[in-house]
Amino acid sequence: MRVCVIGTGYVGLVTGACLAHIGHHVICVDNNEEKVKLMKSGQSPIFEPGLSEIMQSASTSGLLEFTTDLGAGVAHGEVLFIAVGTPPLPTGESDTRYVEAVARGIGENLDGGYKVIVNKSTVPIGSGDWVRMIVQSGIVERQKTLVGAGNVSPETALEQVAGFDVVSNPEFLREGSAVYDTFNPDRIVLGSNNPKAIAIMQELYAPIVERKVKSDRSMPPVPVLVTDLSSAEMIKYAANAFLATKISFINEVANICDRVGADVTQVAQGIGLDSRIGNKFLQAGIGWGGSCFPKDVSALIHTADDYGYEAHLLKASVSVNQRQRLIVVEKLQQVLKILKGKTVGLLGLTFKPDTDDMRDAPALNLIEHLNRLGAKVKAYDPIVSQSGLRDGIAGVLVETDLERLADGCDALVLVTDWQQFRTLDYQRVASLMHNPVLVDARNFLDREALIEAGFRYVGVGR
């Protein structure tokens, strides 16, 4: 099938590359010329395991193309994905101006056959209908221009647009495993009341549903849930809000464990074995961050508020999360007492491993708070330390290797659970430090091994 993906951020690029990999002819449109140039040369502007490989093979086979020309993309695609950003505004609402501009642009360029317009961006509930309206207004604008220029009669201008439908198809990709998640989703949600549009989307995803590519063929087909537009939009918010709340819940339990002398890792295991609860997203630590959870939970609170409903539970999830980010500071104070003049080294900066994403990373709050208390902060991160991102982070000296990080530190804090931090030579690390204290803010390391290596080990809720 012919597909156009508009917006080559994290979601758009992964979606476009994966759809090309399963045999669709995909044109990705982005208005950033530099980025398009980079992607045309076969390089990925983001770090995501497996993405560069599929981009290169799909580009070589001619199934993945990049352009800045929206008109060309719209003319090409039977299915048009809107995958531009919806960043949070200071109020917590989503900024939908990029979606609006793209929807208008689509309308102004629609002149071929029937098109399915897919909302892939996480958009406020009700946006499906709003996008339909904007596309329609784009069509009207174009018709006025055509008729005004005397190129066509009003009747012909109308006939040139064969119609379109809007489908909500939320993504549930995790950064760091987005390519895997695209080929192995837990479910595919399609929100539309139009059977024709749904049939086209089902055909598009058939190779993934039938697990034909990069998946385990012995597994049952991927469930496809067809809903109305608003319910599909709500599913995305509700899923992220539930997962974020699950983490805030276990973090709260961890804080109580700390006081009563229980071990939250054992508690999580014990409750996770209950199939009604499940064992995932019960890892206590420094709290959730990233580009999705904070934005989506705030947006849902805001939407509820718009309708006069106060989302008490979601607000509590957010406030538990804000407090959790600073629990590490309390733990450092308990061990080091005065932090002024002390040196704290952070192991990891990104909001989670296997990504270079620093958006709403708990490390940023930690750095700010430690600076305020007069501590000197150093950090090492497997990706940030080796990239241009290093210079963009204020209040921290980003070291390029671990020995330099450990040198002279009064404490280390494990902030991001990068796999490679599990296997460090901690005896060597301890010997370089001024004071071998390690706050494991993810309960990620082997406590006994660290104690043996000479560390004073402090976990979260254990």
Binding site for ligand UDX (CB under 6 A): 171-175, 240, 243, 247, 281-283, 285, 288-290, 292-293, 351-352
Rounded to a whole number of angstroms, the minimum distance from the CB of residue 361 to ligand UDX is 8
In the block, tokens 């669709």 appear at: 24
Of residues 293 and 457, the one with the C-beta less far from ligand UDX: 293
Angle (CA) 318 321 326, round 5°: 140
Known binding residue 355? Answer is: no
For tokens 């090492």, what's the residue? Answer: 380
Report the C-alpha gap between 201 and 178 in whole angstroms: 20
Residue type, 369: H
Confirm whether residue 284 is marked as ligand binding. Answer: yes
Q: Does 447 count as an annotated binding residue?
A: no
Least distance (Å) from ligand UDX to the CB of residue 7? 15
Are the CB atoms for 356 and 384 separated by under 8 Å? Answer: yes
User: Which of these, 455, 461, 407, 414, lies nearest to 432 by C-alpha position?
Assistant: 407
Beta strands at 79-82 and 115-119: parallel, antiparallel or unpaired: parallel
- Known binding residue 103? Answer is no
Shortest distance, position 289 Cβ to ligand UDX, whole Å: 4
- Residue 289 is assigned to a ligand binding site: yes
CB 243 within 8 A of CB 281: yes
Cβ-count burial of 184 within 10 angstroms (0-12 exposed, 13-18 middle, 19+ buried)? middle
Our CB check for ligand UDX shows the closer of 325 and 342 to be: 325
Catalytic, 292? Answer yes
Q: Which of 4, 18, 257, 292 is catalytic?
A: 292
236 belongs to an annotated ligand binding site: yes
- The nearer residue to ligand UDX, 351 or 380, going by C-beta atoms, is 351
Which CB, 264 or 430, lies closer to ligand UDX?
A: 264
What are the phi and psi torsion angles at 278 (to 5°)?
80, 155
DSSP-assigned letters across all residues of 336-388: HS--TT-EEEEE--SSSSS----TT-HHHHHHHHHHHTT-EEEEE-TTGGGSG
- For the bound state, the minimum distance from the C-beta of residue 281 to ligand UDX, rounded and expressed in Å, comes to 4
Closer to ligand UDX at the Cβ: 246 or 404? 246
What is the closest distance, in whole angstroms, from the C-beta atom of residue 139 to ligand UDX in the complex?
31
* Residues taking part in catalysis: 292
Annotated binding site: 30, 35, 86, 122, 172-175, 236, 281-285, 289, 295, 352, 359
Residues contributing to the annotated binding site for NAD(+): 30, 35, 86, 122, 175, 295, 359
Q: Which residues are annotated as a binding site for substrate?
A: 172-175, 236, 281-285, 289, 352
